[in-house]
Amino acid sequence: MYDWANSAFAPIIIAGFFPVFFKQYWNAGVPVTESTFRLGLVNSLASLALMLMAPLLGAIADHLGRRKGMLVLFASLGMYLTGSLYLVGAGNWVLAACFYAVALLGFSGSNIFYDSLLPSVSSPEDVDRTSALGFSLGYLGGGILLGICVLLTRNPHWLGLDSVEDVIRLSFILVAVWWLVFSLPLILFVREPGGQNRHVSMGLLLAGFRRIGKTFHEVRQLRNVWLFLLSYWLYIDGVDTIVRMAVDYGLSLGFDQKNLLLALLITQFTGFPAALAFGHLGDRYGTKTGIFVALGIYIIVTVRGALMDEVWEFYFLAFGIGLAQGGIQALSRSMYARMIPPDRTAEFFGFYNMMGKFAAILGPLLMGWMAAITGNPRAGILSLLVLFVSGAIGLCFVKSPSSHTH
């Protein structure tokens, strides 16, 4: 249920309403290029902070045996700051940026500990299906709330509101409440195996750093894990960049905001059955094969996206992204879960998330740099082919882990 709970944050806050509101409300009167730079800077700094913190947080959580407690802490931070965006007044972009950055840190940080719980709530044979089910529920839950919010923007009078701006501000509270309510089953009913030490000690921070060093050394020794992380870093770079830049790219081509929000809905509801389908695909033909299929879809979508001129083509792009995004995330997570030591999952997933968040820093920069030097945003989206193709080549050298590893 936690996939259902926190999934509304990605389409509504990261990909949809916040970027649009950041430009039009908190940066009203500011040149578009400047507001875009501000938003990109906030995303990069938040991602950089998480990248540096992720392995340490994972090491500490494994040391204490309190992964769920750390999840609740970061999720609560994300919920509180997401809801607090409602209070930020027009033109106050600095406060909005700070609230968003901390909320993003809470969202991403909680995912580290949620991912690390996966091996303890599923058997090795079912890890693909469990991971895929979580992502598919996430797409469905996020899509439902996104659909409600989009519908309300078209009919603000249903709630007695005066404008679309009032609905968007209300959506920040709705995301926070949705996140909280559907997190309760995990908080109340999911148990985790204990760690080595359940007592907080004065040397906990030093213990965390020591475990980071040990984990890094072990990752270097585990050639298959290292190769997978490198490949994952490359292709998830492309995936994350498309998530964060699709709306801006559509606006740069002159598409209407309403069409872009509809495209987000298409992605969400396509992702629900697609993630389930990829889970079955991984079971039948192998996890790595499923990832290759998803990468092939991304390559097709990237090329088609660089050539599109009409709105219906953007809808096609949204459908393709929804088809592959949930599958590649779920199968990557389950494949990695089979490779790592079962008693140090939070720590190793800290490195896994670190690779993804570092990609979120570099991907948008690559796309923006290519668009700037060529003067054409289409060249920027096309540059992502380098990431998908390189990731696929690296994955060819990764040995598929046995489903009975743990």
> Which SS3 state, helix, strand or coil, does residue 395 take?
helix
Among 83, 58, 1, 44, residue whose Cα is nearest residue 349: 58
Number of helical H runs and strand E runs in the chain: 17, 0
Q: What is the mean pLDDT of residues 97-124?
A: 79
Q: What is the mean pLDDT of residues 11-19?
A: 87
Backbone torsions φ then ψ of 133, nearest 5 degrees: -60, -40
pTM higher than the cut 0.85: no
Alpha-carbon radius of gyration of the chain: 20
Report the C-alpha dihedral over residues 278, 284, 288, 293, rounded to 10 degrees. Answer: -50
DSSP H helical ranges for 11-92: 17-24, 32-64, 67-84
Percent of the chain at pLDDT above 70? 82
Residue that has been written with the tokens 């498309």 in this structure: 242
Domain regions of the chain by residue span:
2-190+208-395
The answer to whether 100 and 49 are in contact (CB under 8 A) is no
Among 232, 266, 265, 260, residue whose Cα is nearest residue 246: 260
Report the alpha-carbon distance of residue 267 to residue 62 in Å, rounded.
Answer: 35
pLDDT score for 179: 93
Task: Provide the token pair at 60.
Answer: 């500490």
With cut-offs at 50, 70 and 90, classify the pLDDT of residue 326. confident
- Domain 2-190+208-395 annotated CATH 2.60.40.1180: no
pLDDT score for 87: 94
